[in-house]
Chains A and B, each alone.
Chain A
Amino acid sequence: MKMITAIIKPFKLDEVREALSGIGVQGITVTEVKGFGRQKGHTELYRGAEYVVDFLPKVRIDAAVDESIVDRVIEAIEASARTGKIGDGKIFVMSIEQVVRIRTGETGKDAL
């Protein structure tokens, strides 16, 4: 079992969600985050006070999936989230030790 975490541009969320549904991913968790990589921030100006804001708003998607579909998930996210410009984001893949479905108590792959 793997946890796939993707940081993407916020306006790409709907596209990515649809792409994931298309390959059979049943559920995802979405968080609004902020961060930066190579994409520069912006400057805000309030009367005489200038603020450089490094952080940009991003969206984080977490999806717990079976190993067998990891590559297809990565491909789907990449394709739907890409714009070709700096700041498109990153995908991280991590191992999951245990998964539990709270309603039924199922564990492991049955809980994905």
Chain B
Amino acid sequence: MLKKFIASLALGVAALGYSGAAFSQAASAPAAEAAPAAAAPATIPAAATPAAAASAAPTPVPNKGDTAWMTVATALVILMTIPGLALFYGGLVRSKNMLSVLMQVMMVFCLIFVLWVVYGYSLAFTASNPFFGTLDKLFLKGMTPDSVAATFSKGVYLPEFTYVAFQGTFAAITTCLIVGAFAERMKFSAVLLFSVLWFTFAYIPISHMVWYWDGPDAITSEKTLETVTAAAGFMWAKGALDFAGGTVVHINAAIAGLVGAFLIGKRVGYGKESMAPHNLPMTMIGASLLWVGWFGFNAGSNLEANGSAALAFLNTTVATAVAALAWSAGEALMRGKASMLGAASGAVAGLVAITPACGYVGIGGGIVIGLAAGLLCLWGVNGLKRLLGADDSLDVFGVHGVGGITGALLTGVFAAPSLGGVGIYNYVTNKGGEWSGIGTQLWIQAQGVFWTIVISGVVAFVAYKIVDLTIGLRVSEEEEREGLDITSHGETAYGK
């Protein structure tokens, strides 16, 4: 009873906090739909701009090819979480905890996706300030099958429902990633409560900060560019490049995981007893599903089915393959043998690192990023892990943190046209290929990384503390020894 009360209290406080801040600001720029720049879309409150309902042009119709692709991409990202991530993580734990991992991933996915359509999308993807939006689209209020969302091309739209769903899968998988860090010892209810808190106060703001803008149609001149920039997310306005979520997803989740691993403490018997993976074939299946699903994640982040998506797709294959090879080679040199777990981990590391870069860098850049990720993440789960001293059960930080940071920074290097990248698109002149210098961009990327780490880390810390003080983070030692499957869920995975 107390747990449910606390959880609903947390939700209520969150809603109050956000709505209080939102109402204190006048609604500024039109919301994210790409209606013709002159008229405000019909969905925002009439008080904001005059004649809101009377658009100058008829409602734009989404391109069917783009919509079809994005629908598939959304489904692919769902596949990444269930069963991709679930099996990847599940195979890595001991058999007595297999179901607990599958359950945590599946339930967090469901929980976060629902919260996304209730308040997440609204707070992340409407305009208000550089850190979060409003509750104007609570429960997707006002949205119909005819509502549209902007893409990265002027005059090209998606059904807004498609955009909501696509972004929702990102919110869900990011939150699911975290469970790997504290696997095998966290209370199930604590996982759920923490997920709600962190999603609300870290994921939503960071996704707004990195990805929110009014859309390309609003940019017709230097002046309107300034308006759009002023209304955009904090990191977007700085010019941070993050194609599919190196910061928003990977660094974000990794830091939350690392903080959790520190706070919850090491597993009983860590360092003495065997905690070897119980089913590496499952891990490989999971990693493969992650890879295939990631095409939806990366190429889908293009929001259109065109050459840019194709570049993202290709990079997602190449960088990943290079990373898997690099990790395996590194392992063979270090330890004498290349392992299946290493190959699967290397592939995931490559996928993570190419995520922010996929639509911006050329194949050469993709290869370098894959190589760097494969080797640096290998160090991340070995030397760095020992250095940090936390029991990050499934190496969330070693792979997603190190890989995410590597990719985010190298995006700033290899997006440069001189290094085969596409440069930055200028929506005023409607030409791509602009570039202000690797040093400049690298500094911007570093800021994005920095703020993600700070916000995620602080929010995670506070959230864990709240959960610990109300529900308690960890199961008892006896329950941990017996296994979470039987003690938390009343079942065994393999019937023994």
Instruction: Please determine whether A48 and B385 come into contact, CB atoms closer than 8 angstroms.
Output: yes
Across the two chains, which residue of chain A brings its CB closest to B273? A51
Does B381 contact A48, Cβ atoms closer than 8 Å? Answer: yes
Residues B342 and A47 in contact, CB atoms below 8 Å apart: yes
CA gap between A51 and B386 in the complex, in Å: 16
Complex-state Cα separation, A51 to B337, whole angstroms: 14
Q: A46 near B382 (CB under 8 angstroms)?
A: no
A94 within 8 A of B: no
Q: Is A49 an interface residue when CB atoms closer than 8 A count as contact?
A: yes
For A49, list chain B residues within 8 Å (CB).
275-276
Could you tell me the distance between the alpha carbons of A48 and B395 in the complex, rounded to whole angstroms? Answer: 10
Contact between A46 and B385 (Cβ–Cβ < 8 Å)? no
Q: Could you say which residues of chain A place their CB within 8 Å of the CB of B436?
A: none
Q: Number of contact residues on B: which range applies?
A: 10 to 19
Whether B395 and A44, one on each chain, are in contact in the complex, defined by CB atoms closer than 8 angstroms, is no
- Bitwise interface map of A from 43 to 82 toward B, beta carbon under 8 Å scored 1, else 0: 0111111010000000000000000000000000000000
Q: Which residue of A lies closest to B377 (CB)?
A: A47
Determine whether the beta carbon of B275 is less than 8 Å from that of A45: no
> Residue of B at shortest CB range from A47?
B381
Check if A45 sits within 8 Å of B337, measured CB to CB: yes
Which residue on B lies nearest to A52, using beta carbons? Answer: B274
Q: What is the minimal beta-carbon distance from A6 to any residue of chain B, in angstroms?
A: 28
B276→A48 contact, CB < 8 A: no
Taking the complex as formed, is B4 at the interface, i.e. its CB lies under 8 A from any CB of chain A?
no
Q: Mark B377-399, 1 if CB is under 8 A from A, else 0.
A: 00001110110000000010010
Question: A51: which of B276, B339, B385 is its contact (CB, 8 Å)?
Answer: B276
Q: How far, in Å, is A52 (CB) from chain B's closest CB?
A: 10
A42 to chain B, nearest CB (A): 11
Tell me if B134 is interfacial: C-beta within 8 Å of chain A: no
Give the nearest-CB partner of B378 in chain A.
A47
Question: Within the assembled complex, what's the spacing in Å between the Cα atoms of A46 and B275?
Answer: 9
B-chain residues with CB within 8 Å of residue A45 when the two chains form the complex: 335, 337, 339
Q: Which A residues from 12 to 60 make CB contacts under 8 A with B?
A: 44-49, 51
Nearest residue, chain B, Cβ from A43: B335
Q: Judging by beta carbons under 8 Å apart, are B382 and A48 in contact?
A: yes
Nearest Cβ on chain A to B8's Cβ, whole angstroms: 39
Residues of A within 8 A of B335 (CB): 45
Instruction: Say if the beta carbon of B72 comes within 8 Å of chain A.
Output: no
Q: Is the CB of A47 within 8 A of B276?
A: no
Contact indicator B386/A46 (Cβ below 8 Å):
no
In whole Å, how far is A8's beta carbon from the nearest beta carbon of chain B?
Answer: 26
CB distance from A51 to the nearest CB of B (A): 5
A44 to B335, CA, bound (A): 11
**Range of interface residues on A (Cβ < 8 Å):** under 10
Q: Give residues 333-367 of B contacting A (CB, 8 Å).
A: 335, 337, 339, 341-342, 345
Contact between chains at B345 and A47 (CB < 8 Å) = yes
- Docked-complex contact A46 and B276, CB < 8 angstroms: yes
**Please, how many angstroms separate the alpha-carbon atoms of A48 and B383 in the complex?**
8
Question: Restricting to B280-323, which residues have a CB under 8 Å from any CB of A?
Answer: none
Contacts of A47 in B (CB 8 A): 341-342, 345, 381-382, 395, 398
Q: Are A46 and B337 in contact (CB under 8 A)?
A: no
Closest B residue to A45 by beta carbon equals B335
A44 CA / B276 CA spacing, docked (Å)? 9
Report the minimum CB–CB distance from A25 to chain B (whole Å): 32
Asked if B472 lies at the interface with its beta carbon under 8 angstroms from chain A, I say no
Check: B277 CB closer than 8 A to any chain A CB: yes
B386 / chain A contacts, CB cutoff of 8 Å: 48
CB distance from A33 to the nearest CB of B (A): 17
- Residues of B within 8 Å of A44, CB to CB, are 276
- Measured CB to CB, the nearest residue on chain A to B335 is A45
- When distances are taken between beta carbons in the complex, the residues of chain B under 8 Å from A46 are 276-277, 339, 341
State A46–B382 Cα separation when bound (angstroms): 10
Specify the chain B residue showing the minimal Cβ separation from A44. Answer: B276
CA distance A100 to B46 in the complex (A): 94
| Minimum distance in angstroms from B257 CB to a CB of chain A | 15
Nearest Cβ in chain A — how far from B97, in angstroms? 15
Residues of chain A lying within 8 A (CB to CB) of residue B395: 47-48
CB distance from B396 to the nearest CB of A (A): 12
Interface residues in B198-219 by Cβ distance below 8 A to A read: none
Cα–Cα, bound, A47→B328 (Å): 11
The smallest C-beta distance from A7 to any residue of chain B, in angstroms, reads 23
Question: Which residues on the A side are within 8 Å of B274 (C-beta)?
Answer: 51
Complex Cα distance, B341 from A48, in Å, reads 11
Q: List 26 A-B contacts (CB under 8 A).
A: A44-B276, A45-B335, A45-B337, A45-B339, A46-B276, A46-B277, A46-B339, A46-B341, A47-B341, A47-B342, A47-B345, A47-B381, A47-B382, A47-B395, A47-B398, A48-B381, A48-B382, A48-B383, A48-B385, A48-B386, A48-B395, A48-B398, A49-B275, A49-B276, A51-B274, A51-B276
Known: A44-B276, A47-B341, A48-B385. 19 other contacts (CB 8 A): A45-B335, A45-B337, A45-B339, A46-B276, A46-B277, A46-B339, A46-B341, A47-B342, A47-B345, A47-B381, A47-B382, A47-B395, A47-B398, A48-B386, A48-B395, A48-B398, A49-B275, A49-B276, A51-B276
The 9 A-B pairs with the shortest beta carbon distances in the complex, nearest first, are: A48-B382, A47-B381, A48-B381, A48-B385, A51-B274, A46-B276, A45-B335, A46-B341, A51-B276
B interface residues, Cβ below 8 angstroms from A: 274-277, 335, 337, 339, 341-342, 345, 381-383, 385-386, 395, 398
Chain A contacts to B: CB under 8 angstroms: 44-49, 51
